[in-house]
Structures are given as structure tokens and as C-alpha cells.
Chains A and B, each alone.
Chain A
């Protein structure tokens, strides 16, 4: 098609259109900026994220700090905004805004600006690995065919299957990344364990009810969330589950630190829930019951310094705990802290120690309900139970209408501890496991302790300790 028009006329026309276009580019961005983001937030695409940001720890940080400024010369930024307007007008906008793999380094740079120490720790630690480290590892690839499930824990933001990431999918190699620019991208970025636009109450810092977290009581940050590759979105740590671990048929005492739920998602046991199976690292032996985060630093996963918090540097027998081969890397290490037992060091027998008796007040015979297999955990209850009975571990069992049973395991005996109290009506159980809700909404709770006597019967303590509720 040709328009009859003088040469100079055409030039002016083209220039005019060009200027118009250049002026238009930031149109969408300007529109957004004019209302401080509220205008777009009224539309469905981003209102949820906008609302989340408003209640998050980052609410005092402007959108532009992370998402780019309207006066930026980055054409991609403006084009992106235009595309959003375009898809919005067409009515086929995505239901949810997703983070794309290629944007991850940009987002991480934003994190790094404020959280420098955490970023440095992460980068130096084992979670700071790149696509090259994980997917082009010859020794691993020669033994294992890569599969899609790898991406559940490494490269969870990658938009494609393993076939679209690495080639060839064989044990012979040589392997390469289809998109070479990914080589240095992190496979476990900040967003694996944190959500920035987090759901929930602003700046709620809850104290954990469990001890055993090292030198000081830890603070649980509300941003903790697992990026779930299946749904391609984050699941808040409060909604993740903790498993009941087994060692053979024995129930292993585990910490109820809810942050561990994040670790368990990848460092997971196989379906048998046996300690040490799959990628599980639940401690047994002398360190049974410790939370992962009791020893591992949050971002760097370093542990070395943690031994000395509990152990004197030089023990009575002259071993330097900081120089022992406690690493998990060598399966042969007898002092692997995840399963070292007293006998591993005290080969000639464990020195006798004064045994602390647990005294229960008077006893009354009472039948004990059989343990139910559905077990849940609650940190507050457990710590209360521990404190009260002086025994080591507990796990909540059967939830009755009227009462909650707690099993306290202490080899070789087993105690049943009953927290009794009416289940209040209309309690919201949305955000917490049921027994916790139950206990939290009760001002006082009666505690019985059932003890198995030598003749196999059960004795129930009648003197009741009054526990103040966790609140």
C-alpha cells in the first residue's frame, strides 16, 4: 500500500508517529504511578498482592523500590507494563502473577540491598548453589538420570521440565543447559523459603514455645514460606506439616519447632517416615529432639559454632568437640551429630549418672484410653507437658471432644498425660492445629498423669497441676 505523499511529508509523518510512540511508552507506567498503585490494585490481577504488601513487613517500602520507577529508561519495564494493560483489556490476564525464573536475580538484588548479611551467609552456604553446580555435576549425573522431581527442590522457579533445562537426559553426557544464561542463577533463591508479599497479620513476631534453639529464643519471621512448585506459589510455614518420625517401630522424639517444616519439605524422609531414609536428617541418639535450627544457621546452614553452645570446648575426656568429625558428609563418621549415641564415644560403657526420678503425686487407678494413630503436634502443650512432668518428649495424640491426650515418651516407660478441658464452641481452627486451638482458648487446664505400674495397670495422678493457657 502506498500513500501518495511527498518525501518530506513522509519523514515528518514517521517522526510524528515516532515521537508519539516514545511518549506513549510510559503511559501505562504513568497511569499506575499516578495513583500510587491503587488504581491497578482495584483490578483483579494484582489486588491480592497489593493487599498482602500492605500488611507485610515491607509495607513502608514503596512498590517502586523493587518494581522499578516510572522515570526509568529501561524500555523493558515500560513494555511490560503495557503488555499488562493489553492483556487486561483483552480479558485474558493470568489468574495469578507468577515470578519468572529470569527475574529472580533482579528480585534477589533487591533483597540484597537491605539484607546484606543474610545474603552473604546464604551465598557462602550450601543453599547458595547455582544451576551449573546442581545440574551439570558429572559424578551425580553419571549415576542418576535427571528427572522432573529434581526441580521440586532445586530450580523450583524454572518454567519447564527437566528436558527443557538440561540435555541430554542420560547418564553418559556431556551435559549442558539449554539456556546457558541460567548457569549462574541460584537454584535455591531467597524466594524458596520467603514470600515477600506475605499473607497474614502485619509484623507479627511470635515467640516460639520451644526451647532448644541455641543460645537464645528464636523469633519466627512471618515471611517464612515454601515455594511449592506444584502450585507455583508459596505456602506459609504455619500451613506446612511436620511428620511423626520413626526409628524402626519407635516413635522418634522430634522438636516441634514449626520452622523445621520448611527443611522437611526437601530434606524429607521416604513415605515410610523412617529417620535417615531418603534425604532425612532427623537427629537421633544424643541429639534427638533438637530442631534443625538449633545448630544450623538460618541462611548459611553453618553449624560449627553451635556445638560450643551446649558442650564445653574440652570435654571431661579431653576431646575437642570443635575438631570432631561431626559432619554428615562422611557416612562413616562415628560422630555424625545426627545419630551419634553415647556408646559411640564411650565404647567401654557409659559412665553412670545420677538418675533423676520423676515424682508424681498420689496415684489413683483409672483406665487409659488406647492411643490413637492420628497424631498432631503442638509446641505449647509439649513444652508445658515437659516442664510439668520433667520428662523429655511428647506428642499429642487422640483429640477427643472433651480432652486431649498427650503421650510422653520416656524409655523404658510410657506415660499418658491428659490435658483436660472443654472444647469451646466456635473456635476458629483455621490457622493452627486443633489441639493448640483448644488449649489456647482455655484459661486453665487440668493435667493428669497416667503412669504404667509394674503390674501393667495404670496409675493416674490425682493432684492436678493447673496450667495457665498459652495466652
Chain B
């Protein structure tokens, strides 16, 4: 059954897709926004300690459901294993599937990448075992759109003390939240060490903004939906705006099967399963894929035809390659005084002193204090102090739960050609669509950087008065979970990339990929603001090239 033709189908209502839908709808295009999840609300979770996007032992309320969405992971020795969304595995956890995507339950750090992050190859040269490259665009190309994202979605914070930041034309729209206790402890310590601490930019209201109230500073933040709507995601900013235009229709519970192409190799529509699992076809002028790095690659690979036997955009076998996330590293410190003040979101202070220029290492990462911790999360701290059960452990909890600080940061990963998303030849999901098959591992450089950063984190904590610290290091397993990126690389050469710098698939002129899949490298930062800025930039170009009802 074919529905009425629309100008654009946007697949995925997350950080990227939400913005594209709004920009296109406001420009007068008719848009169909397809989302495989629901329009979740805080009531779906009610701040459940055991069932959230961080601790998903009893399920992941804002992610895909376990029953219908398996994945296959191939580990280093080549063993295959099926993973489920709520499995506490690096390969799947924290993936979202709802209106707003990860922006519903994220921690909401709003980082601009640094100038070097767009020119990694030029800065560091080639790295063995890595497909490290420069972005085809520069920071300056993205700067106006960073600003647009900061002001349209809403960012609070103050990075004026960050001497390493890339130049910005306009300050952040909101001041930072008042400091919490960890901030007041860590700031002077960082300054004594010669670091340059500053207030983390966050997509979170610190004052009334966008008609919504500021953060009430509760105990349940990252991993949960915000009950006062102070956490700014696409679900409470741009998507409602898109719907208000009357040009955008949002369909939830719709799983896209494939992108349909005609004999000339242009995209003609999409086939998707609606909420009743009925297969629908939608004819369309342009298709925008914004499903996140794993699922975007999967959709392209599953869209096979005689012209594209290996999937769309995959003529040179680059779709699904270079899957990156972030290797998180840092340290935990114990203090002989109380540092916990029960004031969310917890994360408040960061340093960018070690993002670049670390001797003997390629890249680096930002370091910040961790989000406010719940008791069950503190249990999970891999601590070397006592055994993790028994009388000693109970004492440990009593003594240190309120006397510990974690300093943490994402390592900018080296893209690895063999860290990849494929579609599994055997395993299929609920709808019979072949699932993601993830394989490969992290580059050894990521582990070296992680070790280096954790020593810096320990140094910082010790200076702040920690009486005991220990590093928390990542392993070499692939990161396909949160911060997923890189699978549809943006580049000028069709032989070594999937999309051009306008996010248009090289082979198919009316097919776009607009999410973190196009990131060539993923910065030493949480990527969401870059996804948003790039979505604004790509939609801007798209709208400018839009001529009437047909694209070009």
C-alpha cells in the first residue's frame, strides 16, 4: 500500500533526525518522521534505579525492547554471541529508541569539538592500524551551526575559562548551574595543578528557557527522562516545533525495513513496518537516514537491489566501517570528608588540558567529574579496596558512598577499518530484518591514552584531597554503545567515504545520512552537540538545494 507522496522521509527521531525534520518542515517541505520507538515519558520509568539507560538490569525503558531487537557480536577470538539491548554489555548498552532518541535520557553535555578534532590526520599524521583522516569540513564551517544548536536547543554553562576551546562568536545562552560540592573541591585543586577548569556546557536549563523551567537538581539525572523538562532534547524542543508547522507527521513504532530505489539508482521511497507490523511503503522525494551509527549502517546494508548488491552507498565497502564510540577512562578517589551533596546533575567541572598535545600519544580526551551516583551505581564501582561482598563491603558502602568522587572522560578513539557493523546472515529481528553484526576492537592507542588520562585524573583527585585513588580503565572491546559514530564516513573521495560533505550519499543524490555515522573522528567529547550542529548545517544545505517538489 502506497501512501501519499511526501517530500522527505526522516528515519529516526533522535538528535539528528529531530532537527532535520524541523528544519525541512519549516522550509515548507512535507516530512514524514519515522521512529521505531515510542514517544516515551518520565512515567515509563519513574526514575527506577534498576531500570534505566544506565543501570538496565531490569530493562532499558528508553531503548529498543529485548524481545524484538537482538544483535550479534563477534568477540576477538571470533566467537559469536547474541546480545540484547538491556544486557550490560559495552556492545549494546545505552542505545536509545524513542522520540528524542538518546537526548531523552542523556547526561546532556554539550561540547563543541576542538579545531584539531576536525584535522586529526593533518595534526598527527597517519597512525598505523587506523583509518585516521581529516573531516572534509572545518570547525569554522560548523561554528555558526554550533551556535544555532546552543541557542535553539538551549545550553547552560561557561567555557570562558577553557583556554583550549575553539573560538566562538557568541557566549552560551544560559549561565551555569550554581556549583555543587564536588565542584568547589575540584576547582581549586585543578588550578593548583595548573589545569584550566571551567563549567561544563550542558543542554540543560539553569534558568527558565524555551518556556520551560530550570533544573530542580534531583538525584536521578543521566539515564532518566527529566520530569521538569529542564533537560533539553529534540523531543521537547525541535520535534514539537516541527509538528506545529503542520508539514511534519511523526509516526512512532515504525521499523524501517529498507530504502527503495528505482532502475536509475535513485531512492524512491521507504518500506517500513507500522505499529501493527504491517508492511507499508512510502514514496518520497528525498530520504534522510538518522538512525544512529549502528542502525543507519544496518539500514543501508539491508537496502539491497540489483544496482546496489552490497547495500546502498556501499560500492567500495565503506558502510559500517570505522565504528567508534568512546573508551571511558578516569579514576575514583576516596575522601575523608563528605563530598556528596545530593545535588544533581553532579557533573559540573571539566578540563580540556589533555585533549591534544599529549607527549607520545595521538589525541586525548576531556576530563570531568561524574554525574550524581545512586547507591546501586556505586556498588558497581570496580574498587580494589575490599572484596565486593560481605561485611567489609557493607562497611565500605557506609563509609565511602558519600565520600567518593569519580573523574571521568571519553578518549578520542582511533577509527579502525575492521571495527564494523555488518548485517548478520542468519539472525533476524522480530520483523525478519537481518540484525547488526558487530566485530572488531579498539585501537591500542585508545588504551594508551586511557592509561595516561587516568593518571591525570588520579593526580587531580589526590590534589583535591583524596586519601585513596584507583584508575578505572577501559578494555579493548569494541564500543558500539553510547556515542556510536563513524560508520558512514563523510569525505570528498567516494572510494574512501560514504557521504560527501553535504551528507549526501555519493552514489544516490537524494539519499542523506545525517547523524553521528558521518563523523570521521569522534572528538574527545560527548558528540551530541556536534550531531545537532551538523544536522542544522546539512539541512541548511539541503533546503538551499531544494527546488520545488523534486530534488535537483
Contact = CB atoms under 8 A, between A and B. Distances in A.
Interface of A: 144-145, 147-149, 152, 159-164, 170-171, 229-232, 270-272, 373-374
Contact of A161 (B41, B211, B213, B228): B41
Given A145-B229, A148-B227, A163-B39, A230 B46 contact: yes
B39 A149 contact: no
A14 to B, nearest CB: 34
B43 interface: yes
Contacts of B228: 147-149
Given A147-B229, A230-B47, A161 B338 contact: no
Interface string B221-235: 000010111000000
B237 to A, nearest CB: 11
Given A149-B227, A271-B343, A374-B338, A144 B42 contact: no
Nearest to A272: B178
B41 A149 contact: no
Contact of A232 (B42, B46, B211, B240): B46
B216 A147 contact: no
Contacts of B43: 148, 159-161, 164
A230 B216 CA distance: 16
Interface size class of B (residues with CB under 8 A): 20 to 34
Top-10 shortest CB links A-B: A161-B41, A161-B43, A271-B217, A149-B227, A148-B42, A148-B227, A149-B228, A147-B229, A271-B343, A145-B211
Interface in B25-82: 39, 41-44, 46-47
Nearest to B230: A147
A295 B213 CA distance: 32
Interface string B164-184: 000000000000001000000
B216 A270 contact: yes
Interface in B509-530: none
B212 interface: yes
A235 to B, nearest CB: 14
Given A147-B212, A270-B216, A229 B229 contact: no
Given A161-B42, A162-B41, A149 B216 contact: yes
Contacts of A271: 216-217, 343
A160 B44 CA distance: 8
A34 B240 CA distance: 56
9 contacts: A144-B213, A147-B213, A149-B227, A164-B41, A171-B211, A230-B47, A270-B216, A270-B217, A271-B343
A284 B225 CA distance: 36
Contacts of A164: 41, 43
Contacts of B44: 161
Given A149-B227, A152-B227, A374-B338, A229 B46 contact: yes
Contacts of B42: 148, 161
A272 B42 CA distance: 24
A232 B211 CA distance: 29
Q: Which of A149, A170, A272, A374 has the most CB of B within 10 A?
A: A149
Contacts of B240: 170
A270 B228 CA distance: 13
Nearest to B244: A170
Nearest to A162: B41
**Which of A148, A229, A232 has the most chain B CB atoms closer than 10 A to its own CB?**
A148
Nearest to B211: A145
A231 B49 CA distance: 11
Contacts of A163: 39, 41
A397 to B, nearest CB: 14
Interface in B221-273: 225, 227-229, 240
A162 B236 CA distance: 13
B447 to A, nearest CB: 39
Contacts of A145: 211-212, 229
Contacts of A229: 46
Nearest to B43: A161
B246 to A, nearest CB: 14
B424 to A, nearest CB: 32
A148 B104 CA distance: 14
A272 B41 CA distance: 27
A98 to B, nearest CB: 12
Given A145-B229, A148-B227, A149-B216, A373 B47 contact: no
A271 B212 CA distance: 18
A162 B227 CA distance: 10
Nearest to A278: B216
Nearest to A229: B46
Contacts of B225: 148
Contacts of A270: 216-217
Interface centre among B43, B212, B240 (most CB of A within 10 A): B43
Nearest to B402: A374
A165 B43 CA distance: 12
A229 to B, nearest CB: 7
A165 to B, nearest CB: 10
Contacts of A147: 212-213, 227-229
Nearest to A146: B229
A271 B217 CA distance: 6
A230 B47 CA distance: 7
Given A161-B44, A170-B240, 7 more contacts: A149-B216, A161-B41, A230-B46, A232-B46, A270-B217, A271-B217, A271-B343
